[in-house]
Amino acid sequence: MKYWTVCIGEKIVRINLVHIVVAMSIVVCTFFSSTFTVFQFVNSSIHKANFFKQKKKNEQLTTSIQKMLNNINVLNVKLDSLVNIDNKNRLVWGLDTIDEDLEKLGVGGAKIQWSSIGIVDKLTESLQALKNRTDFVAQSFDDLAHSINRTEKILNATPSVWPTQGVVTSNFGWRKMGGASESHSGMDIADNVGTPVVATASGIITKVEYAGRLGLCVEIDHGFGYRTIYGHLSRTKVELYQKVNRNEVIGYMGNTGRSTGPHLHYEVKISGESSPPLNYIIPGATTY
Ligand SMILES: [Zn+2]
């Protein structure tokens, strides 16, 4: 076998091919081993960096979700106040109050076991519950608006003011006429001929005619079963089927029909039955 002589420092060493191969193998193994170790280290560092990055992201996400949950709680508290106000208004307008448990459950909702679910599910459930509550309260507001609208229409249609100025000379009910008793279906208010006569509620003119003993008269249909009649007029200011508002002049006091002097015969009918007009005049609700 061939040998070579090499100097290593001050030493002279004889080496052959086997020595060289072994030495090179050691160098190559050391190189790959070192490279692999470095690779492992780098790889591990990257993984660690990613892990911490992801962990930080998760923490930020959890913080954000917690903030959202807190905001949902704030909205729920505000919704509680709205429900409280809504319930008071419902009472005022004659509606049943909202059942608190039903409202908090939400339409089609279910009670949530918070401890058994993760934070993301908790957020999803909270949002759904909030949406259900909001829908429920919105529906209640709609009901209330409809009720107010209907009540307002009924109030507009209810005779509630004096039809003219003057002195009440005869009230609703039994009275003596020429020694005999007769039923008076309305109220008489006397003043000068030409004194304005107004509609006591909004409605539609359903009669403008000479009606025997009532003379020239006007009838208004107010809806909801209410009708008013104005008799003995000298002249009218409205046409058949005309829409009129409360306090709108419909004619003028006169002495037409069976009348002993200028006055207005004012009558209120509910579902066809005559009713005492004074019951429908709000104290202080004078036209003049
Ligand atoms: Zn009368």
Say how many Å lie between the CA of residue 185 and the centre of ligand 1: 7
Print the domain residue range for 123: 65-157
In this structure, is residue 144 part of a structural domain?
yes
142 and 77 in a common domain: yes
254 and 220 in a common domain: yes
Q: Which residues have a beta carbon within 5 Å of ligand 1, which is an ion?
A: 186, 188, 265
Mean pLDDT over the full length of the chain:
88
Say how many Å lie between the CA of residue 265 and the centre of ligand 1: 4
Section 232-242 average pLDDT:
97
CA nearest to 199, candidates 181, 223, 179 = 223
In this structure, is residue 288 part of a structural domain?
no
The whole-number pLDDT of residue 105 equals 60
Say how many Å lie between the CA of residue 234 and the centre of ligand 1: 15
End-to-end CA distance of the chain: 142
231 and 260 in a common domain: yes
The whole-number pLDDT of residue 108 equals 42
255 and 228 in a common domain: yes
* Eight-class DSSP state of 251: E
The whole-number pLDDT of residue 13 equals 77
Instruction: Check whether 288 has a pLDDT greater than 50.
Output: no
Say how many Å lie between the CA of residue 236 and the centre of ligand 1: 18
221 pLDDT band (50/70/90 cuts)? very high
pTM over 0.75: no
Contact (CB, 8 A) for 109 and 132: yes
CATH number of the domain to which 193 belongs: 2.70.70.10
* Eight-class DSSP state of 279: G
Number of structural domains found in the chain = 3
Say how many Å lie between the CA of residue 267 and the centre of ligand 1: 8
In this structure, is residue 22 part of a structural domain?
yes
Residue matched to tokens 């790889």: 43
182 and 109 in a common domain: no
Cα–Cα–Cα angle for 91, 80, 95, nearest 5°?
A: 15
Instruction: Check whether 187 has a pLDDT greater than 70.
Output: yes
272 and 181 in a common domain: yes
- Local structure of 109: helix, strand or coil: coil
207 and 122 in a common domain: no
Say how many Å lie between the CA of residue 170 and the centre of ligand 1: 7
37 pLDDT band (50/70/90 cuts)? confident
242 pLDDT band (50/70/90 cuts)? very high
